[in-house]
Amino acid sequence: MSSEHEILNHLGINGISADIIRKNALEYSVYASSVQEIEGSLLFLVREEDGRRLVIINPCTILDDFAGDEYHDGKVRICPADKSNLKPLWRHFPFTRPIAYADKPVTIGLGDRLGIATPGHIKAIKETVAFPVLAQQSMRELNFTGRTYEDVLSTAAWSVFQEGYKSGYGADGDHLKTADEIKMALDIGMTMITLDCSDYIDNTIEGLEFHELSARYQKLPEKPRLEMESRYLGREFEISPDLCLSFSISDLMGLILIYHRAIEYIKSIYYEVISRSERAVDFEISIDETKTPTSPLAHYFVASELKQADVAFTSLAPRFCGEFQKGIDYIGDKEKFTQEFTDHVGIAEFFGTYKISVHSGSDKFSIFPIVGAKTRQFFHLKTAGTSWLEAIRVIALHAPDLYREIHSFSLENLEEAKKYYVISADTSRISDISQVNDSGLADLMDDPDARQLIHISYGLILNARRSDGSSRFRARMYAIWYKHDPDYAAALARHIGRHLADLGVKKNNEGIE
Ligand code: ZN
């Protein structure tokens, strides 16, 4: 007997109220914060072994668009809480629909690759002033997880409903590269677009001799070249009391050669797609997926050219010095990072219309205080990998044998996984798990080498199949996650909470005298 019937059989339908459901929520696997009332109908979510269901008691006619099975002479309707009922959810509960964040100072991307992390993310963020981008997924992540943007939006929306979270959230089509991808993401309802220009950034320019640089520069069309020269050469740009930029001819030739195609591409995407959208869109420019760090001079040049062309964007993601590998702390010279980051923030403040975005922001604890302080709490930061790793910790705690299988599989397939992500992990340093007892397995998720191993393998793990075509791990993993979802939410609330605290993000009640 499933839990939705249990609660109704025990408590009866007649006379049931929102209060009674909330009071008995725990016992009957009801999400207490999900209880809502519309014109005498009661709606709430229950947890089932294979996911969530929406229960509607005494459904009124305006709720007819929620499709489901009817029980008790139509007094109860039980509906799949998935994409098939996303549109009615958005219609009746507008707080479940993502919105652009516009001028919110602190915004945090909280990618949920598995479609199970959002409730924990909400628990972490709702106490703070930060605006969450709860749905955030790149094409690479969609391919690895076998999901679509509809899946991503729908799990986020149902999780927002589950938590009764009404402060608004965003949805980021992350690292999109083509106009078609962007149009698709906007059509489905994404509210933020992160344009990845890496295919248009020329990585062959850095390190060229002056004569080679000059020869390649001369081949570019003359008119735009001369216009840019007149904008930058022989001038000084006072960014802040501590930063004055000027361009030598070789600086400028190099920057034009590296970025001119990317700038043209950004302009075309902005004019043809972003500026034509009927809804407000947060538009992020990402130049972070390049070989070399973005110098402050390069940042200034790109931003200035975009301003010149009236391209409005919300945030810009430079590639910072040092390494931002997924799921582990910052690797690099912290002092140099502090200096360059300060310069990047200074340039963004000089233009005054966009914020700095930090990608691969999971677990960068040693630099979080710098990001929070230097930006004066005006930044975007993206995370995703860390929520996957916390989900693996849940497996290690509750299904040690399954964890052992996943761990061995990841080691066996390491070379394949390395094709997709750059890591510095030394897997020989990871403890031999045959020597680790069950209670010690979860601690592996505190070891940077093991974290990286499990991080880069997520696509391979989720897609692994047995010889008969059935999933090797996926189904068993989701069964554990559904069963222990309060534990997972609590773990994420703690872990993401630590991110926010170290970033210096204020609690809702702070600073109000
Ligand atoms: Zn990025």
pLDDT(54) > 80: yes
* Distance (Å) from CA 175 to ligand 1 centroid: 7
Where does the pLDDT of residue 92 fall: very low under 50, low under 70, confident under 90, or very high at 90 and above? very high
pLDDT the model gives residue 513: 42
* Distance (Å) from CA 198 to ligand 1 centroid: 10
Summarize pLDDT for 3-50 with one digit per residue, the tens: 556 777 776 777 889 999 999 998 888 999 999 999 999 999 999 888
Q: Record the tokens describing residue 55, joined without a space.
A: 């229960």
Q: What is the mean pLDDT of residues 290-296?
A: 90
pLDDT(1) > 60: no
Catalytic residues: 174, 284
* Distance (Å) from CA 385 to ligand 1 centroid: 12
* Distance (Å) from CA 86 to ligand 1 centroid: 29
Summarize pLDDT for 376-400 with one digit per residue, the tens: 999 999 999 999 999 999 999 999 9
pLDDT the model gives residue 8: 73
3-state secondary structure of 473: coil
Summarize pLDDT for 312-357 with one digit per residue, the tens: 999 999 999 999 988 899 999 999 999 999 999 999 999 999 999 9
* Residue 345: Cβ within 10 Å count: 22
pLDDT the model gives residue 4: 52
**Run of H or E residues at 193:** strand 192-196
Show Cβ contacts of residue 348 under 8 Å, excluding neighbours closer than 6 positions.
303, 316, 354, 355, 356
Summarize pLDDT for 399-454 with one digit per residue, the tens: 999 999 999 999 999 999 988 877 777 888 898 999 999 999 999 999 999 999 99
Nearest one of 215, 294, 287, 298 to 251, comparing CA atoms: 298
pLDDT the model gives residue 347: 98
Taking the whole predicted model, whether its pTM rises above 0.85 is answered as: yes
The Cα 371–Cα 403 span in angstroms is 35
Amino acid at 351: F
Residues lining ion ligand 1 (Cβ < 5 A) are 288, 359
* Distance (Å) from CA 360 to ligand 1 centroid: 6
* Distance (Å) from CA 11 to ligand 1 centroid: 51
Tokens 């910052």 -> residue? 330
